[in-house]
Amino acid sequence: MENGSLETIPAWLFAMHFHKLDLNLLVALDTLLEERSVSRAAARQNLSQSAMSSALSRLREFFGDELLVPVGRRMEPTALALSLAPQVRNILQQVRVTIETRPTFHPATAQRRFRIMTSDFLIEVLLADVVRQLATTAPGIQLEIIQSGEAGLAAFLRGDLDFIIAPDRNLLEEHPRTLLFEETFNCVVWAGNDSVSDPLTIQQYVAMSHVIVQFGHGQLSILEQWFKEQADKGQGIERRIDIIAPNFGVVPHLIVGTQRVATMHSRHARLYQRLLPLRVVEPPAGFPTMREMVQWHRHLDTDPALRWFVALLTSFAESSTLVVEKEM
């Protein structure tokens, strides 16, 4: 049967007086099990701490179990709570799909918000074009874009995000995905720096001052992850890193008027070459290729609105690939 049918609802819901359970308590239970704190769960649900404590008391009475017990300064789930957690999340995701999914989808008249986790690089080279298209063909479609990171992954698993647009190695297992485009890397230098050859030699690359990207909490970009892996294998390139930037978009501005170099996504490099006095050159041989993907939650797989948006992303990604091939 389809997702959300009675066959997919756990037996315990019916065996334990389902008609007496306020389904809002399942939302509270899901949040409590994730946060493992009454105060944090209350803040996330915009409830008072007393209201969340009351919800926990009702849940304990319903299940006949403490569910969360204090251990020192934290709360830990009981064995029953751990077994309930994935089932509760599954139920809430099915309810959300049932409410939001419509049998037909008409972009011109639809009212929908898509929540997307991605990087500023993908916003600039892909989503900016998509947003311009939405303004004319689907004005009722809204996008909420959040920065890539572990908090976003947790939101995706809760069903609070619709899409992740990221390299394949940063995606989650057991959820559908499709390829948008493959991406290479180029080096970028100031246009006034005429001492750099094209392609850049490994000797020049090592000798130059580098600008790299590192996100909050020390999270590495895909390229920096690759450099680290190469170093762990004893095949690393020793670079002089003088500037660490918080995102991809500021990197080109830190190159202009200097003798620095940055290794950037090829599409991003070409975009900023048209905006700033920059020169794009080939890097030394051996740099990786990325596969940029879009992923969505498996419970939304039959949603016609989601399918339409994935097709829109794919069409713009293909157009971007054709432009890149023409420029090369």
Domain co-membership, 302 together with 161: yes
- Say if 1 falls within a structural domain: no
Average pLDDT over residues 191-199: 90
- The answer to whether residues 36 and 83 belong to one domain is yes
Instruction: Please check whether residues 95 and 51 belong to one and the same domain.
Output: yes
Return d(Cα 60, Cα 73) in angstroms, integer: 20
Query: What DSSP string describes 173-216?
Result: TTS-EEEEEEE-EEEEEETT-TT--SSPPHHHHHHSEEEEEB-G
* Local structure of residue 9 (DSSP, 8 states): S
Q: Using an 8 Å Cβ cutoff, are 167 and 292 in contact?
A: yes
Residue 105: inside a domain: no
Task: Check whether residue 27 and residue 174 sit in a common domain.
Answer: no
Model pLDDT for residues 248-306, shown as the tens digit of each residue: 999 999 999 999 999 999 999 999 999 999 999 999 988 999 999 999 988 888 889 99
- Look up the pTM and report it: 0.70
| Domain membership flag for residue 155 | yes
Does the pLDDT value for residue 324 go beyond 60? no
Q: Assess whether 313 and 169 both reside in one domain.
A: yes
- Is the sign of the CA dihedral 259, 262, 263, 269 positive or negative? negative
| 305/198 Cα distance (integer angstroms) | 45
Quick check: is 17 in a domain? yes
pLDDT of residue 2: 35
Note whether 313 and 244 are same-domain residues: no
Number of domains in the chain: 3
Q: At what angle do helices 24-35 and 49-63 cross, to 10 degrees?
A: 100
> Is 107 inside any structural domain?
no
Q: What is the pLDDT of residues 104-140, one digit of tens each?
A: 789 999 999 999 999 999 999 999 999 999 999 999 9
Does 88 map to a domain?
A: yes
- pLDDT the model gives residue 15: 40
Q: Are residues 177 and 304 in the same domain?
A: yes
**26: domain CATH number?**
1.10.10.10
Specify whether 259 is located in the same domain as 301: no
C-alpha dist (Å) from residue 33 to 46, 71, 83: 16, 14, 11
Same domain, 31 and 69: yes
Within a domain: 241: yes
Show which of 43, 77, 100 is a domain's final residue: 100
Residue 269 lies in a domain: yes
- Indicate which CATH number applies to the domain containing 239: 3.40.190.10
Q: pLDDT band at residue 10, thresholds of 50, 70 and 90?
A: very low
Question: For residue 209, what are the domain limits?
Answer: 185-288
For residues 234 and 310, state if they share a domain: no
Instruction: Give the pLDDT confidence of 35-66 residue by residue, as tens digits.
Output: 888 988 888 888 898 989 998 998 888 888 89
Phi and psi at 240, nearest 5°, equal: -95, 105
Q: Are 278 and 206 part of one and the same domain?
A: yes
